[in-house]
């Protein structure tokens, strides 16, 4: 019987630790060629878009997809999992909260393998829905002492700082400019929907690791070309998707400041086939695309937990 899991049920079960663990597993499997992925396709809707992306992980017994219709009134995300051994449909999982956590976790995995071991301070640009789990994920893989947050609206960055200080038990301070949050930070997170760069090469010091986790459209870019060009190592969770969606890499490549040949798959770094950082002074950059194999890996874990704990509604049929 297939299970249906609601947002509430997912929220109660899923932790950042579980998501980090699932992603570490699926990245390793992918580096062995054992994971299939269908990059995101979009269809335009009136004031939004419909998105469809799929993945397979036969060794874990699953194949499936994520779909969502995003519009002015928000979006509803769903993941469907099928068995790879003829079991048919296994689960339909409401995936808003799941997506928020897995996107954070992808940056967490990148930080684990690319940031300096002694990284202890974070600068974060953006304070929206996705910003919380970005910071939470970095806090899960490094011993953080402090973080600074900038976003355009003072009220929002203040409330983010207060909320996250309490939740993570570290000192999170609001700041009045992107420059001031980046200065001296060991890890920089950009998680905005900006079309004009918020992070420039000029702002960057040596040894920093950047997680660029904002908008997935070539119309947007969070980093300027200088910041891309001065990064010693540039990684992404999916090269195919980056080539059609990652605005800052596409622009840097188009203008001759970046070569796609330089782009490293994060799964190769996770498995140790490539270095995430060769020395303390390196600037490292993770371009987060958000891909379907990450979704099905986390959802597989959710399904296992739900079955074990007797959670979820059985679908008819």
The residues that touch a copy of itself, with contacts defined as CB under 8 A, are 4, 6-8, 36-38, 41, 43-46, 50, 52, 54-56, 58, 63-65, 67-69, 71-74, 76, 78, 80, 82-86, 88-89, 92, 94, 313, 315-317
In the bound complex, what is the minimum distance in angstroms from residue 248's beta carbon to a copy of itself?
26
Q: Which is nearer to a copy of itself, 280 or 315 (CB)?
A: 315
Beta sheet of 146-150, edge-to-edge order: 171-174, 146-150, 121-125, 187-190, 209-212, 284-287, 233-236, 263-265
In the bound complex, what is the minimum distance in angstroms from residue 19's beta carbon to a copy of itself?
21
The secondary element (H helix, E strand) that includes residue 38 is strand 36-45
Give the Cα-Cα-Cα angle 190, 247, 34 (nearest 5 degrees). Answer: 85
In the bound complex, what is the minimum distance in angstroms from residue 9's beta carbon to a copy of itself?
9
In the bound complex, what is the minimum distance in angstroms from residue 314's beta carbon to a copy of itself?
10
Q: Which is nearer to a copy of itself, 38 or 250 (CB)?
A: 38
Q: Are 133 and 20 in contact, with CB atoms under 8 Å apart?
A: no
Phi, psi of 162 (to 5 degrees): -65, -50
Q: Which is nearer to a copy of itself, 56 or 107 (CB)?
A: 56
Handedness of CA 25, 30, 34, 37 (dihedral sign): positive
In the bound complex, what is the minimum distance in angstroms from residue 36's beta carbon to a copy of itself?
4
Q: Which is nearer to a copy of itself, 86 or 256 (CB)?
A: 86
Helix, strand, coil: what percent of the chain each, to 5? 40, 25, 35
Q: Which is nearer to a copy of itself, 232 or 240 (CB)?
A: 240
């Amino acid at each position: 019987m297939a299970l249906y899991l609601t947002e509430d049920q997912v929220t109660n079960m899923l932790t950042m630790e579980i998501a980090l663990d699932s992603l570490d597993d699926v990245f390793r499997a992918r580096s062995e060629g054992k994971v299939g992925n269908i990059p995101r396709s979009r269809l335009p809707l009136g004031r939004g878009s419909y998105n469809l992306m799929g993945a397979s992980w036969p060794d874990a017994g699953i194949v499936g997809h994520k779909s969502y219709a995003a519009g002015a009134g928000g979006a509803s995300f769903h993941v469907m999992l099928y068995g790879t051994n003829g079991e048919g449909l296994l689960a339909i999982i409401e995936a808003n909260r799941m997506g928020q956590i897995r996107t954070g976790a992808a940056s967490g995995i990148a930080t684990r393998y690319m940031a300096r071991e002694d990284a202890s301070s974070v600068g974060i640009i953006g304070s929206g829905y996705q910003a919380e789990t970005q910071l939470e994920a970095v806090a899960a893989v490094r011993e953080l002492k402090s973080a600074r947050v900038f976003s355009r609206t003072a009220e929002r960055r203040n409330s983010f700082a207060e909320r996250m200080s309490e939740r993570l038990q570290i000192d999170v301070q609001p700041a009045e400019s992107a420059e001031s949050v980046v200065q001296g930070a060991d890890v920089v997170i950009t998680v905005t929907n900006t079309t004009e760069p918020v992070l420039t090469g000029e702002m960057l010091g040596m040894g920093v690791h950047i997680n660029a986790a904002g908008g997935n459209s070539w119309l947007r870019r969070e980093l300027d070309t200088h910041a891309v060009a001065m990064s010693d190592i540039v990684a992404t969770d999916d090269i195919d998707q980056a080539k059609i969606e990652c605005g800052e890499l596409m622009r840097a490549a188009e203008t001759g400041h970046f070569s796609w040949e330089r782009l490293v798959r994060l799964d190769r770094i996770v498995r140790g086939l490539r270095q995430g950082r060769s020395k303390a002074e390196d600037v490292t950059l993770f371009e987060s695309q958000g891909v379907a194999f990450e979704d099905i890996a986390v959802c597989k874990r959710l399904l296992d937990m739900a079955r074990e704990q007797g959670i979820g509604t059985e679908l008819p049929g």
